[in-house]
Amino acid sequence: MMLTKSSIRESAGFGEGPLSFRLLWGLFFIELAVVFLYALNNGPDRDEIEYLRAAWKILCGQRIYIDFFEHHHPLFCFLLVPLLSFFKANVMVMLAGRASIFLILLIMIILVYKTAKNLFGKESALISLILLLMTEIFIFPAVQVRADVPQALFELLSLFLLFSYFENKSLSQLVLSSIFLAVSFLFLQTAVFFIFAVGLLLVIGIYFREIKPQEVILYFSVLAVVLTPFYFYLVLNGLWHKYLIYNWTLNTNIFKFSILSDPVPLYLYRSTLKGNPLLWAFWVFSLFLLDTPAQKRAAIFSLVQLIILIGLKFYFFQYYLAVMPLIAMLAGYAIYRASVLFPSRKMLIVWFLVILYAVGPMGLYFKIYKSSPMSRALNKMRYVLSVTKPKDFVYDGMMSCNIFRKDMSFFWFSTYTGRWYYKVLKGHDYNPYALIDKFRPKVIVNDKYLNIKYPGIARHYRPSGPYPDLLIRTD
């Protein structure tokens, strides 16, 4: 039974008729509520504290790349400044940040639904959302206060506008796609992987005469023009050389010394293939079911993105934020196509598959935020604020609880894994013990890499009552 794009759209009874399908929307909103609870209750990632801390430094008048170390693009930090300005030194800024990111996630979900509906029909689109919300590799980073989330939003906006351009040849959509792609790069330099995949898609389009070479030139010209102010900002503020070192030289070399030893395919298997086998199985199945050029274009792009990411020597969940919606869309389409082969049992098949898919991840979300609650992390941050004054120093080399107090060094985070590149790239021998002797921080976070028997620590610090890993200065 062959279904075309139009026949899928017109399939009777699946979207509006049966109560069982309308109840799928109920499942979607239950999943959305679970994800929202997870977002507010799961403890913060170190990257979130990094971004909020960097924004606080900017709010206090410090200059990124000059007064403090950062190896990401600055746009997201600047966007967080008004939030921190409003909340002042209040740990509730973490929850406000999570709520703001959740709004971005909602926009992404709406965007994915509209695009999947245009490509595969509304039934497949809804199934795609149910899959996406229960995909850990997507949801874990998608609710965190990190630049990767707005970056992924603008990447998807760019890609879906490009898909629309191929359908209706609207030059305005082509230009907007390029603008949004440029904005995604302003959030993080990892957008270069997505830009490469878009470029490959455009080259394929030239080959099949779906787009003219001069339009591709226009596309990348607009991209360059939009990024030009960022270049001048870096040059005019004396940041260009430091930007290249910290954002490019450092990031392309750091994983030569990475403690992550598993090859990427094995890591992906353990992190998502093993937990979400149905998603990947139906994504592969979908590659043999595509009818229209638009559907094939989405599949090709998802495949190219996966090949690029698997080819990298390092891996983080957030790198997959922009590709997982495509994979969910294709897998949702495959599930629907499989179900319509058995009309009398269509909804039974859909319900069985989505429930089977959702149960495991939903339980995992509850398990994670119960074992690592946000309240515990916020209380620890409040405690640090309560035992320090605004001018006090805090040593928190692994970014666990300090957002609002002063750091001892330009290099202020990842002080263990970062020590080699601090020395290699800056000729700087990071010595926390000398810094502790010099600045006498009021609080030291005892990470496993710090020798607390060092005399400057043993003589002047004691473990705090409620948090034994926090050492409080006694004199």
Q: Are strands 394-395 and 443-445 parallel, antiparallel or unpaired?
A: parallel
75: tokens are: 């746009």
What is the full per-residue pLDDT of the chain (475 aa) written as tens digits?
A: 344 444 444 444 444 445 667 888 999 999 999 999 999 999 999 999 999 999 999 999 999 999 998 999 999 999 999 999 999 999 999 999 999 999 999 999 999 999 999 999 999 999 999 999 999 899 999 999 999 999 999 999 999 999 999 999 999 999 999 999 999 999 999 999 999 999 999 999 999 999 999 999 999 999 999 999 999 999 999 999 999 988 998 887 765 555 455 566 566 666 666 778 889 999 999 999 999 999 999 999 999 999 888 877 667 889 999 999 999 999 999 999 998 888 778 778 888 888 888 888 888 777 776 777 899 999 999 999 999 999 999 999 888 899 999 999 887 876 655 565 666 565 666 788 999 999 999 999 998 778 899 999 999 999 998 999 999 999 9
Q: Measured between alpha carbons, how far is 266 from 47 in angstroms, rounded to an integer?
A: 24
240: tokens are: 């260009």
DSSP 262-306: S-HHHHHIIIIITT-HHHHHHHHHHTTS--SHHHHHHHHHHHHHH
Contacts of 457-462 with C-beta under 8 Å, sequence gap 24+, read 457/433
Element (H, E) at 5: helix 5-9
Instruction: Give the residue carrying structure tokens 């992404």.
Output: 108
Phi, psi (deg, nearest 5) at residue 414 = 50, 45
Residue 161 contacts residue 201 (beta carbons within 8 Å): no
Helix, strand, or coil (residue 173)? helix
Within 8 A by CB and 6+ apart from 20, the residues are 347, 351
Q: Measured between alpha carbons, how far is 100 from 102 in angstroms, rounded to an integer?
A: 5
Residue 149 contacts residue 321 (beta carbons within 8 Å): yes
- Among 370, 358, 367, 369, which Cα is nearest to 134's? 358
Q: Are strands 443-445 and 470-473 parallel, antiparallel or unpaired?
A: antiparallel
Instruction: Give the residue carrying structure tokens 């979607």.
Output: 28
> Whole-structure pTM over 0.85, yes or no?
yes
Sequence letter at residue 53: R
Q: Measured between alpha carbons, how far is 139 from 471 in angstroms, rounded to an integer?
A: 35
